[in-house]
Amino acid sequence: MSANSVALAYLVAAILFILTLKGLSSPLTARRGNMFGMVGMAIAVLTTLTLTHNVVYILIAIAAGGSIGALVARRIQMTQMPELVAAMHSLVGLAAVLIAMSAFNNPVAYGIALPGELLHASNRIELFIGTFVGAITFTGSIIAFGKLSGKLSGRPLRFPGQHWVNLGLGIAMVGFGIAFFLHPSWTPFLIMTAIALLLGVLLIVPIGGADMPVVVSMLNSYSGWAAAGIGFTLNNNMLIIAGSLVGSSGAILSYIMCKAMNRAFLNVILGGFGGGEGAAAASDDGVQKTYRSGSADDAAFLMGNADSVIIVPGYGLAVARAQHAINEMSKMLTDKGIKVRYAIHPVAGRMPGHMNVLLAEAEVPYDQVVEMDEINNEFADTDVVLVIGANDVVNPAAKSDPNSPIYGMPILEAHKARTVLVVKRSMATGYAGLDNDLFYMDKTMMIFGDAKKVVEDVIKALQH
Amino acid sequence: MSGVDPFILNLTVFVLAIFVGYHVVWNVTPALHTPLMAVTNAVSGIIIVGAMLAAGPKQLDVGTVLGLVAVALAAVNVFGGFMVTQRMLEMFKKKGK
């Protein structure tokens, strides 16, 4: 194909990608959007195929990678989505590094150097940027994958002088980048790449616990920038446009997650929060606080006689695999004419929107699932709130206690309801290691036990 | 315009694409943020285009082999990303009645 027809085909693909993201503004248009995305990708791949020689090898590589991807997509459990996404980011990062190496190996074939000459000056900078963003994305995502899948400890790992080490490595990396710019050869290029790979590990290692949703979103963004960086190197608009769309999407999700936790982005990146070492901070006033505990039967009675119930699910619900049971329970309540809704905090799962998917999988109707900003005004008029597997996101200290570490974090105002039921394994603290005053309020009843078991007992009690 | 450096043209496209991305993504409903991330995984698989160009030159050498590996890696994202997104969106459909 001529260069012009290729560019036009890429334009069509780019527009289809934009429509893909646009489709996600509503569940009704989202599937059509995804279809646009597939068509766009097919156009981009087929167009590029006309520019290459080793078509058979390339098709074999696509078939190999594609079948692995298809298999994983079919098998993966929805609770494992954060790990899958992190793993995929790492692949984009590694691909970017490999392409950059290939481009440097044979710049003439890419039209970024004339035969017998060195790489163009501007391409050296672009190659440097594309490579280090790709390398950091690659190793950073592997660490994130390890933490999310439980193969590595989720605790933040910190050591003295960490930030100085990172800063030193960053400066060294730029130094070798400059050396590469002045005299493009493999030595500075490979050293620079190695430092970037190490930096990727060191940047993600100190972040853990509750901050993982931010990390996943951030690496999502990086994977886009890596693709865009390679686009600059190869003067390829398709890569630049698609990469920028992904990059800005990840950046926005990072921003939303930080805001939902009332944390400054830089603070998250520097790491060290949510490790559980603050657990001792619970109830420092020395007063033994009392709480009321009840049974599943009590919970069934209270909900069965209510007019309205709001369920506040947290990740503990998914860990206990109680989504299906809770859907069955809410169906029974709905059949009794009780208004049931689910209130979702933006950080309710392990990645943005995770809880929505987990509930959708359990066939909870999505019109019953309401975001925080929309439902917060309604708690005051609600008879019963059932908090299940959530803790910090309903801690009233975030609103009332300026000394609390989570002060200022937006919360679901469950404490305003007439009665609050909290299903929990024990009185242990949540991710942030804080005690929760909600548990000690007069209108609160604690129901101890495994979330799934408790909900099943509630269902049994409701049947009588 | 003929004297413009390709870098400036790339930069123009880059900045405009970020603008479009910014506005489109803010309109995504929070309920679909996980599918958004999965589909952007697939879209970032567009790096397959760069990988194919790396694998493209007629004579096979280190560079083309690296390119072929990159093609396979990116293909995991393309297929895995779109298919898992489709799977999730089907869940949102069933109760959309």
ipTM reported for the complex, 2 dp: 0.95
A359 and A459 inside one domain:
yes
Inter-chain touch A34–B32, beta carbons under 8 Å: no
Same domain? For A138 and A242 the reply is yes
Asked whether residue A58 is assigned to any structural domain, the reply reads: no
Return per-residue pLDDT of chain A as tens, 464 residues.
788 999 999 999 999 999 999 999 999 999 999 999 999 999 999 999 999 999 999 999 999 999 999 999 999 999 999 999 999 999 999 999 999 999 988 887 777 777 777 777 788 888 999 999 999 999 999 999 999 888 888 777 777 888 888 899 999 999 999 999 988 889 999 999 999 999 999 999 888 777 888 899 999 999 999 999 999 988 899 999 999 999 999 999 999 999 888 888 877 777 654 444 333 344 445 566 788 888 889 999 999 999 999 999 988 888 888 999 999 999 999 999 999 999 999 888 888 999 999 999 999 998 899 999 999 999 999 999 999 988 888 999 888 888 888 888 899 999 999 999 999 887 777 666 678 889 999 899 999 989 999 999 999 999 87
Residue A32 with chain B: CB contacts under 8 Å: none
Q: At which residue do the structure tokens 């007629």 appear?
A: B58
Q: Which DSSP symbol is given to A379?
A: G
State the best of B15, B40, B92 to mutate against chain A, taking most chain A CBs within 10 Å.
Answer: B40
With 0-12 CB in 10 A as exposed, 13-18 as middle and 19+ as buried, what is A161?
exposed
Q: Which tokens go with A67? A: 């079948």
What is the DSSP track for A390-402? --GGG-THHHH-T
> Which residues constitute the domain of residue A378?
296-463
3-state SS class at B61: coil
Domain boundary among A218, A253, A270: A270
Q: What is the rounded distance in angstroms from the CA atom of residue A97 to the CA atom of residue A226?
A: 9
Same domain for A454 and A337, yes or no, is yes
**Tell me, what amino acid is at A222?**
Y
A207 is a domain residue? yes
Give backbone dihedrals phi and psi of A344, rounded to 5 degrees, phi first: -110, 120
Residue A151 and residue A221 share a domain: yes
> Is A57 in Cβ contact with B68 (below 8 Å)?
yes
Q: Same domain, yes or no, for A266 and A302?
A: no
Shared-domain flag, residues A306 and A452? yes
Q: Which residues of A touch B62 (CB under 8 A)?
A: 102, 105
Residues A365 and A421 in one domain: yes
Q: Point out the residue among A53, A74, A239 whose CB comes nearest to the CB of B56.
A: A53
Task: Give the residue on B whose Cα is nearest the Cα of A75.
Answer: B84
pLDDT of residue A432: 65
Phi and psi at A46, nearest 5°, equal -65, -40
Residue A119 lies in a domain: yes
Helix (H) or strand (E) holding A444: strand A444-448
User: Which residue from B minimizes the CA distance to A112?
Assistant: B6
Amino acid in position A368: Q
What is d(CA A288, CA A446) in angstroms, rounded to the nearest whole number?
A: 16
Q: A255 and A111: one domain?
A: yes
CA distance A384 to A309: 5
C-alpha Rg value of chain A to the nearest Å: 26
Q: How far apart are CA A223 and CA B32, in angstroms?
A: 20
Total number of domains in chain A: 2
Is residue A392 annotated as part of the catalytic site, yes or no?
Answer: yes
Q: What is the enclosing helix (H) or strand (E) of B43? A: helix B33-44
Does A69 map to a domain?
no
Q: Do strands A369-371 and A444-448 pair parallel, antiparallel, or not at all (unpaired)?
A: unpaired
The residues pairing with A446 across neighbouring beta strands, listed in sequence order, are A293, A422
- Cα→Cα distances B86→A195, B83, B97, Å: 38, 5, 18
Q: Are A166 and A202 in contact (CB under 8 A)?
A: yes
Cβ atoms within 10 Å of A405's Cβ, excluding its own: 17
Q: What's the gap between Cα A357 and its chain centre?
A: 13
User: Residues A207, A336: one domain?
Assistant: no
Which residue blocks in A106-236 are alpha helix, DSSP H? 121-148, 162-182, 186-204, 212-234
Which residues lie closer than 8 Å to A451 by C-beta, 6 or more apart? A316, A317, A319, A320, A322, A388, A389, A423
Cβ–Cβ of A249/B52 closer than 8 Å? no
Whether residue B95 and residue A224 make contact (CB cut-off 8 A), yes or no, is: no
**The pTM is what?**
0.89
**Vertex A422, ends A421 and A427: CA angle to 5°?**
145
Specify the pLDDT at position A96. Answer: 96
Is A163 within a domain?
Answer: yes
Strands (E), A367-449: 369-371, 384-388, 419-424, 444-448
- Phi/psi at A431 (nearest 5 deg)? -55, -40
Whole-number pLDDT of residue A281: 43
CB contact under 8 A, A54 and B60: yes
- In chain A, the residue whose alpha carbon lies closest to the alpha carbon of B62 is A102
Q: Is residue A354 part of a domain?
A: yes
Closest CB to B30: pick one of A228, A239, A353: A353
Q: What is the C-alpha to C-alpha distance for residues B72 and B48, in angstroms, rounded to an integer? A: 8
Which CATH number does the domain housing residue A340 bear? 3.40.50.1220
Phi/psi of residue A267, nearest 5 degrees? -60, -45
Residue at A18 is within a domain? no
Confidence at residue A274, expressed as pLDDT on a 0 to 100 scale: 43
State which of A270, A288, A323 marks the end of a domain: A270
pLDDT at position A288, please? 66
* Whole-number pLDDT of residue A287: 60
**Interface subset of B 7-26, CB within 8 angstroms of A:** 7, 10, 13-14, 17-18, 20-22, 24-26
Q: How many CB atoms lie within 10 A of CB A209?
A: 17
Verify whether the Cβ–Cβ distance B74 to A228 is below 8 Å. no
Q: Are residues A404 and A255 in the same domain?
A: no
Residue tagged active-site, from A211, A392, A435, A457: A392
Q: Which of B36, B74, B96 sits opposite A95 (nearest CB)?
A: B74
Same domain, A306 and A231: no
- Which position has the token pair 């879209």? B43
Which pair of tokens denotes residue A351? Answer: 């990645």
Angstrom distance (rounded) from CA A208 to CA A273: 7
Q: How close A384 comes to chain B (CA, Å)?
A: 24
- Tell me which residue in A18, A248, A360 faces B91 most closely, judged by beta carbons: A360
The Cα–Cα gap between A99 and A110 comes to 11
CA distance B9 to A277: 51
Q: Can you tell me the distance from the alpha carbon of A426 to that of A442, in angstroms, rounded to the nearest whole number?
A: 18
Q: What is the mean pLDDT of residues B76-91?
A: 96
The Cα A295–Cα A301 span in angstroms is 10
Q: List strand residue ranges (DSSP E) for B1-93, in order.
A: none
Q: Is residue A17 part of a domain?
A: no
Do residues A317 and A248 both lie within one domain? no
pLDDT in tens, B8-61: 999 999 999 999 999 999 999 999 999 999 999 999 999 999 999 999 888 888
